[in-house]
Each structure stands twice: as C-alpha cells, then as structure tokens.
Structure 1
Amino acid sequence: MDKHVLTLDKGTTCTAWNHSGQRLAAALNDGTLSIYDSTDPASSVFCCTSRFKVQEGSILKVVWVPPEFGDVLACISANGILSLWEEVAEGTEGNRWKLCKLFERNTGQVLDAQFGDCHTSLKLVAAFADGKVKIYELLDILDLEKWQLQAQFQNVVDVVSEFGNASCLSASISWNPQKGEVQQSSFILGFSSNMPSLNSPKVWKYDQDHQRWLPVAELSMPEDKSDQVYAVAWALNIGRPYELIAVATQKGIGVWHLGLNPDADGRLQVNQVAMLHGHDGEVWQMEWDMSGMTLATTGTDGVVRLWQANLNGVWHEQAVLAPAS
C-alpha cells in the first residue's frame, strides 16, 4: 500500500536527496531552502527541521556534498550565482545553516554544478552559460571557504581552441561515482546551446602526469554531435568490464558503454547499446540506482519511468510511475 511520507510546500522548484543522512533539501521559488529529516526511521516520516533564506530570487538547483565532508549544500540561483551553505551547531540552540562560500561570477551564469570525491581532495565542477567549464578544488577539508580554481576550459575536443558567442540554456554534469586510490577523477558533461561543438557529451579525465584535464571520449553518433543534451547520468560500476552512462537528447535516451582501457592516444572506446523512448516530451533528469542497474528518468510529462536491461542485454521499460492527479 502506498504510504504518504512528506508534503512539499507549494512553489517548490527542486529537491536533493541525501542518502546517507536520510535528509531532503527542497528549494522554493522565493529563494527559501527547507531541510527535511526523518523523525522516525522505522516509519520514514519526514518533517521540516530547518528553513532559511538563500536569496530573494528562485533557486534552480541544490546539490549535497559527499557525506564524508559534512552537511553542506550547493545552491544555484536563478541569477546564476553559486553558493555553499553549511550546517553548524550552536550549542543549546540547535543547528543553523550559514553561508560559507559565494563563488565569483566573472563569466556567464552557472547552469549546473556537481561535487566529485577523489582520493586526494574534494572537487567541484561548474558549467556556465557561456560554455565555460570551471573546476574548483577544496584546499582544506576543514575550511569550506578555501576553494582554488584548478582548471578552466570549454566542452570541446579541440582544447586549444576558444569558441566564442556561445549561449547555453542548460548543462548537465555527472561524475564517475567510482572511488579508489587508483581511480582518476572523471566526469561527463553536455550542453544545450547554440554551439554544436559544445553540446556533444564528452568524458573528461584528469591526467595526473601532466596535471590537466583531457577529453577521453565523446558519447554521440557522428550524425548526432550537434544535438542539444538535456541530461547525463553515470552509473556506479560494480564489477562490469565497462562504464555505463545515459545521455538524454531530443531523440531519446541513449545508453552507452564506455571502455576502461585507453588506446595509444588516451581515448576510451564507446558503444551505444540502446536508444530508449517513452516520455512525452523532453527528459530533464535521470538517476541510476545504487547498484547501477536501474535507470530512473523524468521530464516535461511529469512521469517517472524505470529502465533495465534483461539477461541478454536488451533494455526495456520496467515500470511507469505517474502522479495520482
């Protein structure tokens, strides 16, 4: 039987789930951020434990940092400002949320931002409306104000060229969720823009030997490189001989296998294994489950669809979750 666990406020624009702490962050169109916690883990009922103002305008996206770095949220505002908020204890008065970092915006508006946890440090990659990509590194895990700009580039294979006059409506970033000392940092990024060279989703990997980020794969067919990308999602790899990545464009949801072993030029082999259809309209959000086997997708039609591959590797729709009204 369905169980009601939480009612979000009217005007909620986005949410972010913290799996480790059983917490939910929900942003409103008036710039307010609400934190919901489970009061009884056995019943999974949530109540609002904090509510604070981030800014006057709407909040477009909220992202939790990896749990080992504390209770911290990144907020992207409608005006393109990226800010970090940290929960701090205040003795007998309980906890409160404080602004710990406001990133300077000297280029375009921030469209997406995601944290990457590698064995050396915490990183944050941000995609901007002018097609720029910036990667920040946290210098001191005990001081969330000390972020350093590690790299800046555009989402193009020809990394020495600069493509101007880009106008991007949205961007989607997904880090490789795999962790480990031998695992180099990598992420996939795609844009929805007026610049075809920026749109095509590319896998970026950090070259430790040369201390730079390099594009090691491009997840699009030759005839689809100009397609605008709405969402990307990198699945957790538990023993597969390849990585599994989903890419949503206006043509559907492409499921890709990404090889693990680079060729002589450092490139990784890619293979599109499925193109999924079923949503009425664009797909704007995708999430893999914690096993990396089931893909959940949703978009403008307001329907959640679950996808899986059978034993023969054929992808199919596993379930459809539609709103009651």
Structure 2
Amino acid sequence: MEMEVATLEKGAVCCGWNYCGQRLAVGSADGYVSIYDSLDSSSSLSSKWKAHASSIVNVVWVPPEYGDAVACICVDGTLSLWEEVGEDNQTVSWKRCMLLDTGGFHILNVYFKVLLTSLKMVVAYSDGHVKVYELLDLLELDKWQLQAEFHNVIDSVSRFGKPSCLSASIAWNPQRGESQQASFVLGFNSDLPPFNSSKIWEFQETHQRWLPVAELALPEDSGDRVHAVAWAPNIGRPYEVIAVATCKGIAIWHVGLNPESDGRLSTEKVALLSGHDGEVWQLEWDMGGMTLASTGGDGMVRLWQSNLNGVWHEQASLECNGIQA
C-alpha cells in the first residue's frame, strides 16, 4: 500500500529523511531548504530558509544524537551546516553554524558517523580528495578539526595525475561496537579509473591514520565509474555485505571480517543485479541488512533479496501507479 508523506513544492531537487525524528529535509533549485514534520499519515512544512544563492544538490541529516541539523551541498561546490535553534516559546529557526572551505574544488558528498563519543564527517571533493573531520565539542557544531586527508587510490597519486570527478558515494560501516574499527567505503565517478573503484578505508589506531584495506572491483571492472554504494547492517553474518552500483548493474560484495597476512580484507563478488533501465542513483539497506532498495533514472524503486541459497532476485518494484511483485 502506498502512502503520500508530503507534497513538495515546485523546484525540489533533493531530499534527506530523518528516521529518528520522522522529518524530511528538501533542497530546492532556488537555494532554499524546507523541513517537513510528520503528522500522523502526512507531513506539514515547519521551516523554510535560504541556505545558498544557487541550487542545492544534496541534503544530509546529522545523526540525531547531536540535535536537529542538516548539511547542504550547493551546486557551486560549497557545503554549509545548519542547526535548528529555539528558546522557550520563541519561534524555532535554523542558523548556519559552518561554511566549509572548499579549497578551490567542489564538494561532492558528505557523510556523518557516530563513533563511541565522537562524531566524524567524511567529505569527498571533485579532485578525488577525501577529508575526515572530527567534532571537537559535542555541543558546538561549528568546531570541527581536520583529522586526515588522502586520495581514493591505493598507489601513489603522483602516478595518475588529478582527476575530474562528477560525483562521489560514501557509506560508513553501520556497526557501532566498542571493538569495531572505524571504516567506510568510498567510490568516485571520475575520468581517471584508479579513483573510481570502491575502496574500504579503515582507521588504524596503531598508526593513527586511514588505510585502504579492500578494493571492491575485479580486474576487468576496476575502472568502472561508481554511482552509489551502501553498507548493509550486520546482524550476525561472518562477513560484511556491501552493494556497489556501476554502469554494469548493482554488485553485491562479501567482505571478510578479519584481515589477512597483508592487512587486507578478503572480498568476493557474489551477485550482479540487473533490472534498472539506466543509471542507478541511490542504494539503501533495510535495518536488518536483508533487503536492498535501489532507485535510478528509470523512475523505479526496486527491492532485492537473496534466498536461502544465496541467490539474489528482484522481490518487488515500485512505480508511480503501484507496486509490482
């Protein structure tokens, strides 16, 4: 059964869903951000403000442990962070608490992750650069410290030159255990193949730096442009599951939990899902890590599952006029 959550105004370009607060943030072509609050079976517009001078291309919620805040990426490559504020009975408003310096390159994507008592932010740039920031003060969203910066390549970047990247896809490891190493997967859509393939970056406490521990690409497709990645929650599997969308389809990867002698994690490509007519734009796992949702340029949302034998299949598809099973 389909249910309309909100009717968006003309010019809406992107949106982000806050699962905890049941709120929707919408970025528009005119640079405005709108917040819709869930009310029973529908949503109402609660706030709207001018965040950038030109179109917003991505909005991402900060984890709810740090209040109601959203990061906005503008088409000009800048990133701003906005926090909801209100005192006593005053009208709630949104204030800008950070405008990130781009360093001359466009910001393509941003992703947040709560790790024990700290908040990390990964930012991907149009030159294939990656920066990891850490929040210094849990109560001050404007106090970020640069923890690390590197390029999304395994070998020395001097071998390849500087790429021109159109988009970047980031997904943190969703596990939150104390013994869990901080890690995320990242892939680019660029004109230089070495930057494209999805790589898992892990923070090594002994060296205090981020190192690549796996590459999710076979030799024949290592240069394929990556359009979306998604790391599945793990509820007891002896391996991790990561989905990677390229021009060839959606690849399902199994990644070992323990490093091998060379420090790398074992990888196995177990499925390639085809069904979308055109580019896949976004991937999302359910909370149990059993069902994968994908959407793309064909205007379809498709749900994928594997059977007891590990064979993946399309479970259902959603279009404007209903669900097809």
TM-score, length-normalised on structure 1?
0.96
Q: Equivalent residue for 1:254?
A: 251
Residue 296 of structure 2: aligned partner: 299
Q: Distance in 2 between matches of 1:161 and 1:186?
A: 25
Which residue type is aligned with residue 191 of structure 2?
N
C-alpha contact 1:297 1:306 (8 A) present in aligned 2: yes
Return the offset for 1:214: 0.2
CA separation of 1:248/1:96 partners in 2, compared to 1, >3 Å: closer, same or farther? same
Query: Identity rate of aligned residues, in percent?
Result: 61
Deviates more, 1:90-99 or 1:27-36: 90-99
- Which residue is 2:205 aligned to? 208
1:38 aligns with 2:38: yes
* C-alpha displacement of 1:120: 4.0
- Counterpart in the other structure of 1:15: 15
Name the SS for the 2:142 alignment partner: coil
3-state DSSP of counterpart to 1:145: strand
Confirm whether residue 114 of structure 1 aligns to residue 126 of structure 2.
Answer: no
Structure 2's unaligned 5+ residue stretches are: none
User: Aligned pair in 2 of structure 1 residues 160, 263: CA closer, same or farther (>3 Å)?
Assistant: farther
1:139 is paired with a residue of what secondary structure? strand
SS in 2 for 1:68: helix
2:151–2:157 contact (8 Å) kept in structure 1:
no
**1:51-200 superposed matches below 5 A:** 51-158=48-155, 161=158, 163-200=160-197
Aligned equivalents of 2:16, 2:305: Cα separation in 1: 23
Q: How does 1:224-243 map to 2 (within 5 A)?
A: 224-243=221-240
CA-to-aligned-CA distance 1:97-138 (integer Å, 9 cap, x gap): 000011111141001110011114101001100110011110
Q: 1:206 to 1:107 in 2, by over 3 A?
A: farther
Contact 1:136 1:148 in 2 (8 A): yes
The C-alpha deviation readout for 1:226-264, integer Å capped at 9, x for no partner, is: 111111000111111111100000001000001000012
Instruction: Tell me the distance in 2 between the aligned counterparts of 1:107 and 1:263.
Output: 39
> Which residues of structure 1 form unaligned runs of 5+?
none
Judged with a 3 Å threshold, the aligned counterparts in structure 2 of structure 1 residues 69 and 163 are, in CA distance, closer, same or farther, namely farther
| One-letter amino acid of the counterpart of residue 9, structure 1 | E
Q: So what's the TM-score if we normalise by structure 2?
A: 0.96
| Aligned partner (choices 263, 266, 272) of residue 266 of structure 1 | 263
The one-letter code sitting in structure 2 at the alignment partner of 1:23 is: R
SS in 1 for 2:65: helix
Q: Deviations over 1:295-316 (max 9, x none)?
A: 0001111110000001111000
Tell me, in whole angstroms, the C-alpha distance in 1 between the residues paired with 2:210 and 2:275. Answer: 36
Is the 8 Å Cα contact of residues 33 and 51 (structure 1) preserved in structure 2? yes
Aligned alpha-carbon RMSD (Å):
1.3
Equivalent position amino acid for 1:28 in 2: S
Instruction: Output the CA distance in 2 between the equivalents of 1:262 and 1:97.
Output: 44
Distance in structure 1 (CA, Å) of the matches to 2:80 and 2:135 = 14
| 4+ residue segments displaced more than 3 Å | 159-163
Measured in 2, the distance between the counterparts of 1:78 and 1:162 equals 30
What SS does the aligned partner of 1:92 have?
coil
Which SS does the other structure have where 1:231 is aligned? strand
Deviation at 1:265, TM superposition (A): 1.6
TM-superposed CA distance for 1:284, in Å, is 1.1
Q: 1:29 is aligned with what amino acid?
A: A
User: Contact 1:90–1:96 (CA<8 Å) still a contact in 2?
Assistant: no
Residue 160 (structure 1) shift: 6.8
C-alpha distance in structure 2 between counterparts of 1:39 and 1:206, whole Å: 41
Residue type at the aligned position of 1:265: D
Q: For residues 172 and 15 of structure 1, do their structure 2 counterparts lie closer, same or farther at Cα, with a shift above 3 Å needed?
A: same
Q: How many residues are matched? A: 322
